[in-house]
Chain A
Amino acid sequence: MTAFFQSLGLPFGAAWLISTIAGILLIALPLMLSVAMIIYVDRKIWAAMALRRGPNVVGPLGLLQSFADGLKVFLQETIVPTAANKGIFLIGPVVTFTVTLLAWAVIPFNSGAILADINVGLLYVLAISSLGVYGTIMAGWASNSKYPFFSAMRASAQMISYEVSIGFILICVVLWAGSFNLGTIVSAQKGHVFGILNGFGFNPLLFPMWVLFLISGMAETQRAPFDLCEAESELVAGYQTEYSSMAFALFWLGEYGNVLLMCALNATLFWGGYLPPLDIPVLYMVPGVIWLLLKIFFFFFVFSWVKATVPRYRYDQLMRLGWKIFLPLSLLFVFLVSGYLMATGHFA
């Protein structure tokens, strides 16, 4: 995009600045719109599985429900509890929301269509997602109230636990792709299995890793069945209890933005990202971004499906799953994958 602005006669610096800002807006604005719509989709899927109608009043088929909710919270008064630690109380939701947007910078939407094409892309995603926990901790602590505090404790322990196994799972992908750059990882998946299937997920050695990644992703984003930090039967609304108005909306947006990011990472790392599922020339006539969005939407459906059907985990079971099952299993697969790659001379 920089080249296009340069062709209009701008110097490199100015062209770079304009194209970067344009890129940020091109990612952030559709993301916010799709978060609004995906909340609607989530509620509709959830309702359909519970044999209800879901939102169907505002706008045709209830399509404008999220916007009505958005307007409602926007017009509410922001209430800061007197005993709260005011600065940190207000920074908490901002951190959650900002961190969600930050990670999208390295997701490739098409070949070459990537905002920050850095060679440590995957490490950047890990770094940013490890920042996400601070929003929750700050909110829980600053609320100065029991249930938010318990919730913050749970959330941080949960996110740290699952980040460990996510790290090992990503190492398997990186070993096979030979790069931390997400664009390179996607192009390494072209014709990966039998020269026709695009995606590491089709590989029998990496498919189990994808299953672990999907489940860890749910735990990392605190989605059901791992939504212990906002388990309403135990903790009221968890760390969001004391929040109202836009501060609450920022948590809401950040949470769904994170879920979409996890879906995008599933698509990008294991199912070929912007590549079509089969390496057939006809399928390349559909733009890459359409394939990526279809995959994101599919994984979001899986997330909703799980939310609608699986009961909530107990906390000790959650920890057991993370530390005693996922961690050894992902470590084993790091050995298996690197052993296989060494044996077949992948690195030669």
Chain B
Amino acid sequence: MIQTLAFYLFAALVIASAVMTITARNPVHSVLWLILAFFNAAGLMILIGAEFIAMLLVIVYVGAVAVLFLFVVMMLDIDFATLRAGFVKNFPLGLAIAGILLAELLFGLGAHSAGGLVLGTPDAATAPAANVPNIQAIGAVLYGHYLFLFEAAGVVLLVAMIGAIVLTHRQRNDVRPQNISEQVKRRPEDATINTRPEVGGGVKL
């Protein structure tokens, strides 16, 4: 009973905030609605007992990805008039994409009701053990059965990250970098000298 109520609450909020995401006029509002959608999706994950995925959804999407979105969108210099001007021009394209998505959804539902696709049977190593928290279950599968694929994915991401840094990095010679250890090592004697100059003679620097 409570599960059903919670499900409909979360599901309705996901859909409502998704609709608001695309209809909100202000892009910052759109991102905030998107965050609400993510958050409610995490609620749905908890309802089906996938607490680990739910927490990851909040940490990764809400905590990191959406913050960057918000950052970028907030920095944009938005002119609402030009933003809406392209609506009529892009409307047919949008309609076509919506049609394709609807067709895919109907295909999927039809295929499912005709009997789901069987993609190979899980063996003992991949079957999640009963009564194990799903962090342990996912960990056992990722670090046991799919260890190579998992680490390969990690390496691919690392290469992509290094690539992005190399592409955007530019060497600047006009900045003076700060060397903290050199600054900490510096003593008063290194920086100051005591002299007793002749009257009117001045100090030699």
Q: Which B residues are CB-close (under 8 A) to A138?
A: 32
A118 with B51: CB separation less than 8 A: yes
Q: How far is the CA of A156 from the CA of B74 in the complex (A)?
A: 12
Smallest Cβ distance from A213 to chain B, in angstroms? 17
Smallest Cβ distance from A50 to chain B, in angstroms? 26
Known contacts A130-B62, A141-B28; A123/B55 CB under 8 A: yes
- Contact among B28, B58, B70, B74 with A131 in the assembled complex (CB-CB below 8 Å): B58
- When C-beta atoms are compared, the residue in chain A nearest to B66 turns out to be A134
Q: How far is the CA of A160 from the CA of B63 in the complex (A)?
A: 8
Smallest Cβ distance from A179 to chain B, in angstroms? 9
Q: Which B residues are CB-close (under 8 A) to A120?
A: 51-52, 55, 133, 135
Interface centre among B55, B70, B178 (most CB of A within 10 A): B55
Known contacts A137-B67, A141-B28, A141-B74; A130/B58 CB under 8 A: yes
Known contacts A123-B52, A127-B55; A160/B64 CB under 8 A: yes
State which size class the interface on B falls in. 20 to 34
B135 with A130: CB separation less than 8 A: no
A290-344: which have CB < 8 Å to B? 316-317, 320
B135 with A131: CB separation less than 8 A: no
Smallest Cβ distance from B12 to chain A, in angstroms? 20
- When C-beta atoms are compared, the residue in chain B nearest to A164 turns out to be B64
- Contact among B26, B51, B52, B67 with A156 in the assembled complex (CB-CB below 8 Å): B67
Smallest Cβ distance from B65 to chain A, in angstroms? 11
Q: How far is the CA of A151 from the CA of B21 in the complex (A)?
A: 26
Q: Which B residues are CB-close (under 8 A) to A133?
A: 63, 67
Q: How far is the CA of A149 from the CA of B28 in the complex (A)?
A: 14
A123 with B70: CB separation less than 8 A: no
A163 with B63: CB separation less than 8 A: yes
Q: Which B residues are CB-close (under 8 A) to A137?
A: 67, 70, 74
Q: Which A residues are CB-close (under 8 A) to B55?
A: 120, 123-124, 126-127
1/0 per position for A153-181, CB-CB distance to B under 8 A?
Answer: 10010001001000000000000000010
B58 with A119: CB separation less than 8 A: no
Smallest Cβ distance from A92 to chain B, in angstroms? 11
Q: Which A residues are CB-close (under 8 A) to B26?
A: 85
- When C-beta atoms are compared, the residue in chain A nearest to B70 turns out to be A137
A156 with B59: CB separation less than 8 A: no
Is B107 engaged at the interface, CB distance under 8 Å to the other chain? no
A131 with B71: CB separation less than 8 A: no
Q: How far is the CA of A85 from the CA of B32 in the complex (A)?
A: 13
Q: How far is the CA of A88 from the CA of B26 in the complex (A)?
A: 12
Q: Which A residues are CB-close (under 8 A) to B74?
A: 137, 141, 149
Smallest Cβ distance from A261 to chain B, in angstroms? 16
Q: How far is the CA of A126 from the CA of B63 in the complex (A)?
A: 9
Q: How far is the CA of A120 from the CA of B57 in the complex (A)?
A: 13
Smallest Cβ distance from B168 to chain A, in angstroms? 16
Known contacts A126-B59, A127-B59, A156-B67; A134/B51 CB under 8 A: no
A88 with B52: CB separation less than 8 A: no
1/0 per position for A119-151, CB-CB distance to B under 8 A?
Answer: 110011011001101100110010000000100
| CB-defined A-B contacts under 8 Å, sample of 26 | A85-B28, A88-B32, A118-B51, A119-B51, A119-B135, A120-B51, A120-B52, A120-B135, A123-B56, A123-B59, A124-B55, A126-B55, A126-B63, A127-B55, A127-B59, A127-B62, A133-B63, A134-B67, A137-B70, A138-B32, A149-B74, A156-B67, A163-B63, A316-B178, A317-B178, A317-B180
